[in-house]
Amino acid sequence: MVSTTKISAAAQLVHEDEFMRIVMPNRLKVDKLTGKLPKGQESPLGDFPNDYTRPDRSMRLTGIGISMLTPRGRTGGEKTLLSARGTPFSLLSARSDRTSSAAPPRAGAYKRRPIEPTEFRRFYDRNDLPLQIVHAGTQNRIGWKVDAEKLDYHHYLPIFFDGIREKEEPYRFLAVEGTYNLLDRGGSKILPVVPQLIIPIKKALNTRDAEVTVTALKILQTLVLSAEMVGEALVPYYRQILPIFNLYKQKTPNTFDQIDYSQRKRTDIGTLIDETLEIFETHGGEDAFINIKYMIPTYESAISV
């Protein structure tokens, strides 16, 4: 019997991670070593004291006999590190040294920004969030210890929105799935909290990380459609969130005759931005289009006159 249960956005991210482990098995480890992702705690009880001598034990990658770094720095001798594609970091730095003198530096507009530790991670580590993971057959889900309708949205909704920047489990799954659950059950509680959601949304978009940006765009669409007047409440904050839209609006791959699996998974940033802008204009009232046009000059109205 075929299951008709729709895979949630958070579960889809977990599935994608499992697929990426086959192609790039050390992706998250390399991101931590290069400072793109926040480092975890040194032990289940927290970080070691400053005067404590760290164990002289290096992390070893599966199938690669090359010493890596611990979450707090080097533990062994200076050895060569491998990038996510298997290229030694020393070779990459040597190439950059040769090209830096011959050409001007890149602007780095599309370069990924380091993701700082989120408030969601801090609250979850302190066990201050009333939820837990319920493991199921095809996908996990969230088990709320308190009815979501009874939660203080002014306190919890910004924390969950701040957690959409996470790329590690279980933080990302709980943050993304919890955000969708709160938006689905919030109703009239969502509109007063909109001003508190702007900074977390802006931080997520400013990471320039494709995976985080796609998640933020999908959540923005759900936010606008979750309650009345939310779209109009976002209009004064277009100057904070639309610059990244303008940067990635044309980022749609030309696949020629190849299959674009991003259409099914909805991970094409350019297409998601167009959809989000149309929702903004449709639900943003009479001032939405002129404000979108001011920030994104190439945008054309989706409403037929």
- CA–CA separation, 178 and 155 (whole Å): 14
- CA–CA separation, 97 and 94 (whole Å): 5
Closest listed residue to residue 208, CA positions, set 245, 162, 163, 260: 245
Q: Which residues pair with 67 in a beta bridge?
A: 60
Q: What is the pTM of this model?
A: 0.76
Which helix or strand (DSSP H or E) is residue 122 part of?
Answer: helix 119-125
Per-residue b/e over 211-227, b at no fewer than 16 CB within 10 Å? bbbbbbbbbbbebbebb
State the number of CA atoms in the 13 A half-sphere of 238 facing the CB. 20
Give residue-wise pLDDT tens across range 287-305: 899 999 999 898 888 776 5
Per-residue b/e over 261-272, b at no fewer than 16 CB within 10 Å? ebeeeebbbebb
**Rg for the chain, CA atoms, rounded:** 22
Residue 77 has a pLDDT of 43
Q: Which range has highest mean pLDDT (50-54, 81-85, 158-162, 255-259)?
A: 158-162
Biggest distance spanned by C-alpha atoms of the chain? 70
- CA–CA separation, 129 and 156 (whole Å): 8
Q: Which residue has the higher pLDDT, 115 or 256?
A: 115
Q: Which residues pair with 51 in a beta bridge?
A: none
Q: Which residues pair with 70 in a beta bridge?
A: 73
CA torsion sign for 165, 169, 172, 175 is negative
CB within 8 A of 175, min separation 6: which ones? 118, 120, 160, 162, 163, 164, 166
Confidence tier at 95 by pLDDT (50, 70, 90): low
Give residue-wise pLDDT tens across range 121-173: 999 988 899 988 888 777 788 888 888 888 899 999 999 999 999 988 889 89
Report which DSSP code applies to 70.
B
Residue 5 has a pLDDT of 60
Q: Which residue has the higher pLDDT, 276 or 266?
A: 276
Give residue-wise pLDDT tens across range 38-79: 877 777 777 777 777 666 555 444 444 444 444 444 444 444
